[in-house]
Every structure is written in C-alpha cells, then in structure tokens.
Amino acid sequence: MSTVLEQIEQQIANLSSKAVKKNTGSILTVADGVAKLNGLSGVMYNEMVQFPGGAIGIALNLEEDEVGCVILGDVSQLKEGDEVQTTGRLLSVPVGKVLLGRAVDALGNPVDGKGPIDAKETYPVERIAPGIIVRKSVSQPLFTGIMAIDSMIPIGRGQRELIIGDRGTGKTTIAIDTIINQAKMNKVGLASGDPKFRPVYSIYVAIGQKNSNIVRTIAALEAAGALEFTIIVAAPAADNPANQYIAPYSGAAMGEWFMENGLDALIVYDDLSKHAVAYRQISLILKRPSGREAYPGDVFYLHSRLLERSARLDGKGSLTALPIIETLAGDVSAYIPTNVISITDGQIFLETDLFNQGIRPAVSVGLSVSRVGSAAQIKATKQVGGKLKGELAQFRELAAFAQFGSDLDAKTKSQLERGARIVELFKQPAFNPLPIELQVSVLFAMQKGFFDAVEVKKIVEAASSLREFFTTRKDALLTEVRTKAALDKDLEAKLQAACDEWKSSYSA
C-alpha cells in the first residue's frame, strides 16, 4: 500500500502546473506524401512537424492560410482532421563513425537488419555551406583506381566531379570503383602505421533506385572489403518522394561530420536526376509554379546548396562529391545536366558508343574535364601521363579522318597506332581499381615504347602480364614509387630495368 502512496506522491511532486505553449493545427488534406495543414501559425520553414503515429513532416510551403508539408515515413494511417504540432527543431540525422558499415534510410534509421545504431551526435540535414575564407584550395589527390581518370581527369580531395552519361554506360561502376579504391588504400595506409596517412571514408547515397540494385551494390562493396569504410544511405524507388528528396542532404550531413572532425570523406550521389524528379513531384503537388521541363524555378538552388557543402577546409578535413547525372540520348544541354555541370568542378562524360565498342570505362576524353587539373596529381603521374590526353584527343580526330580510306603518311600512321594502344591500355574491368604506383609503372612502360611491338588486340593481355609481373616480383619497387611520388633518374632507371626484364620474359 505504501508503494502505491509513494508513487502517487512522486507523480504529484513531478506535476508541472505552469502553462506550456504549443503550436498545434490539423490536417486539411493528405495525398501523395504531402499534407496541407491548418492552424500552424508559428511554424518555421524546414521545421519538423509531428504527425500522429510518430510520422514526421517538413514544412516547405508557408502560405497565408495553410502550410504545405511533406511527410517522411508511413502516410497510410493519417487522415483529414488529425491533430499535428510543431517541434521547434530542424530535421537532424545521426552522424559519426558508428554509421560505417551500415545501411540507413533518409532519416538515419537502420534498414540492414543489424540492430539499432547508437550514435552520440546528430547534425541538421540542411546546413549552410562553408564560406570562402575557411576553404583551402584543392591540392591533395583522391585516387579513383581507374587509370583513364587518374592520369587524364584527376580528382582532388574537396572537389566536386560530375559523372554524367546515358543509362547503362557504367556511371555507378566508376563511383563504386572509387569507393573500393579508398578502402584498399585505407587498409594499406593504416597497416603501415604512417602518421601522415589520411584515410578516406565513403558515403553512398542511392536515390530512386531499385532495391535489387542497392543490394547488388552493397554486395559488391562487401565482397571487396569496402563496406567497413562506407555508409549506405538508401532512398529506393519504392520510397515516397520526400525521402528521396531528403536523402542526399542526410548523406551530406554525415559527410560533414568527418570533414568537421579533421577527416576526409567521399560522397556519391546516385543519382541527382532522380532527386530532381522527386523534388519536381513534391513541388507540383504543393502547387508551386512550374518552369522549364516542368521543374520548379528553385531546382538549381536544390543542387547548388547540396554540392557547395563539399569542400576542403583549412585546418580540418575534406568532403569530396561525385554526383551522378543520367542523360537522355547523350543530351548534355538538357536542363538538369547543364545546371549540375555549372555547379561542379568538372565532369567525367561516359559515351554510349564507346561502351558498346567495348571500351570500358567509356570515358570521352574530349568532353571530360577536371577544373582542378594537375594540381590534384602526384608528380609521377604528371611525368608519365602528362601528354596522354592530348595524344588521345588527337587520335580520335585522326581516326575519324582516316576512316575515309585516304593514303596516310608515316607520322599519321604512328600516331594512330599509338592512340589505339593507349585506348586498349585504359580498358579496365569493373570493381578492380589499380593502386597509383601500378598505374605509374604501366604508363611508364607505354611512354618508353614497351608496348609498341605488341599487337593492338593483345595490349590488354600484355598490360595484365606487366601488372602481374610488378605485383609479384617488384613489390619493393612499387613501394618506392608510392613513397617517393615522383620519378627521379634512379627510379626511372629501376623502372626501365624492370620493364626490360618483363619484356624479355613476355612473348606476345
């Protein structure tokens, strides 16, 4: 009996008699993941709104007599007349290393069945991008492991490099290869105990993709041992448009935690075309006026405020962004592609024709560019690959001219043959990124003419043989190339001797 009395006394003691101010309203209409609300006079733009049953909404339209709100989560239980209330908080997601190796939804809730995530910190989903003063110029390389990109279109830490091309040209593969390469470098670097080594943590944001594709991506990362350094943010096609709209911002918040804490992170947005479509869907339901291609007028701001959050900060870390955009029939002049091209620091353009010819990765040398350029390359890559882009672009022009069958002089023939060999050399299977020291060694062999006597159709086989020779028998030399990061006369002589040794044992 005394226990019951004690409980009643405790409840009376805890009773608060002071007035509590609440801003409540009711649902006017709810449809397609969007609710129109009445009575929320004190609501702020982008504020979280609490719905019955635990669903959360974000106030996007603040009109004179009603509020337009997108709902995150299950909307099936909500009905007209239900009471809603403001929270006074911006939407936040859990952040930190505890998320590595996990798959989460747009709100940071686990979706991989591995139990709850015990995150100590949260970051707001929408944050103002770092200003000019706190930024530092991009000069540290971020190696993708893809020879064609690292040698001709280098990416630096803190850069935003767009991957653009038609459907099925290998855009996601390039992003996944880059994530796998970071994980491989992390393992080598952390095992070496080098105090200067800075690991790169990855965030992969899947927007509007089929669940089966997301599972396949996770399986590829797990098989390559990269999942432990990666966070997966999934907003599949089955999710409502609000989740697809929020997902990239959630991923950016998770990446910003690494950047703010002096670490380096890489974020892949796959893909922003579907993100823009989800936002268009929300905007049209909210009765916002539509503009070009039925997109709302602020669709440029949608992506610019997301991508500007990637930076290299002075005295802190960096966040590198690889947004992906899908084109239709190679049309880079469409609305969303031109928007994102103007926001980013360069683009890797993938061509359908090259992909169909078996040139994979199908990187178009003419249309691809890195606005950071060789500032984000190590000196060794500049030394062996500095002229490659020009040679390859020249080869493409000459090849187009030579197909008319006119007689060619010796110089043109040699340029065509060299270009054809470079094209073959850059062919690389999916999910097989190459360490930079191996890339430098193979490009050195190309530069010094070791592949000139090999038939063009056997170049891929010869390059594979050379890579195997270096990894199995010249491990110390590869380590020297990696640690020096520039080729002096002594190192060049060693590479020349190693290539001579390989040439004597290799029979084409």
Mean pLDDT of 334-345: 96
- Known binding residue 165? Answer is yes
Quick one: what percent of the chain has pLDDT higher than 70? 97
Q: Which two tokens stand for residue 144?
A: 């993708």
Closest CA to 236 of 274, 275, 215, 210: 210
The backbone torsions φ and ψ at residue 225, rounded to the nearest 5 degrees and listed phi first, read 75, 25
Q: What is the pLDDT of residues 279-321, one digit of tens each?
A: 999 999 999 999 999 999 999 999 999 999 999 999 999 999 9
- Give the model's pLDDT for residue 119: 94
467 is in an annotated binding site: no
- Provide the phi-psi class of 293: left if phi over 0, else alpha when psi is between -120 and 50, else beta: left
Determine which one of 198, 292, 360, 371 is catalytic. Answer: 371
Q: Give the DSSP H/E element, type plus range, for residue 436.
A: helix 436-447
On whether the CB atoms of residues 107 and 93 are closer than 8 A, the answer is yes
Position 398 scores a pLDDT of 84
Is 216 annotated in a binding site? The answer is no
Give the DSSP per-residue string, 408-423.
--HHHHHHHHHHHHHH
User: Per-residue pLDDT for 14 more than 80?
Assistant: no
User: 170 a known binding residue?
Assistant: yes
Phi/psi class of residue 193: alpha, beta or left (left: φ > 0; alpha: ψ in -120 to 50)?
left
Q: Is the pLDDT of residue 121 over 90?
A: yes
pLDDT at residue 406 tops 60: yes
Helices 436-447 & 489-505 angle (0-180, nearest 10): 80
213 vs 17, which has greater pLDDT? 213
pLDDT bracket for residue 441 (50, 70, 90): very high
Residues paired with residue 30 on neighbouring β-strands, in sequence order: 35
Q: Give the containing element (helix H, strand E) for 171.
A: helix 171-192
Answer yes or no: is pLDDT of 18 > 80.
Answer: no
What confidence category does residue 32 fall into, taking pLDDT thresholds of 50, 70 and 90? confident
- Residue 326: strand, helix, or coil: strand
Q: Is the pLDDT of residue 234 over 90?
A: yes
Is 371 one of the annotated active-site residues of the chain? yes
Instruction: Report the relative pairing of strands 103-104 and 230-235 from DSSP bridges.
Output: parallel
Q: How confident is the model at residue 508 (pLDDT cuts 50, 70, 90)?
A: low
pLDDT digit string, tens, across residues 457-471: 999 999 999 999 999
The pLDDT score that the predictor gives to residue 21 is 60
Q: Could you tell me the pLDDT band of residue 2, with boundaries at 50, 70 and 90?
A: low
- Give me the domains of the chain, ranges plus CATH numbers: 24-89 (2.40.30.20), 93-377 (3.40.50.300), 383-505 (1.20.150.20)
Greater confidence (12 vs 304) lies with 304
* Half-sphere exposure (Cβ direction) of 287: Cα atoms closer than 13 Å: 10
Place of tokens 């290299």: 312
**Which of 245, 242, 243, 217 shows the shortest CA–CA distance to 232?**
217
Task: Say what the pLDDT of residue 407 is.
Answer: 73
pLDDT at 268 over 70: yes
Report whether the peptide linkage leading into residue 271 is cis, meaning its omega lies within 30 degrees of zero.
yes
User: According to the model, what pLDDT value does residue 168 have?
Assistant: 93
Inform me whether the pLDDT recorded for 336 exceeds 80: yes
What does the angle CA 293 – CA 297 – CA 300 come to, to the nearest 5 degrees?
Answer: 90
Q: Is 167 annotated as a binding residue?
A: yes
* Most confident residue range from 28-32, 160-164, 421-425: 160-164
Please provide the DSSP assignment of 288-307 as one string. PPB-GGG-BTTHHHHHHHHH
Taking all residues of the chain, what is their mean pLDDT, rounded to a whole number? 92
- Taking only the tens place, the pLDDT of each residue in 129-165 is 999 999 999 999 999 999 999 999 999 999 999 999 9
pTM over 0.85: yes
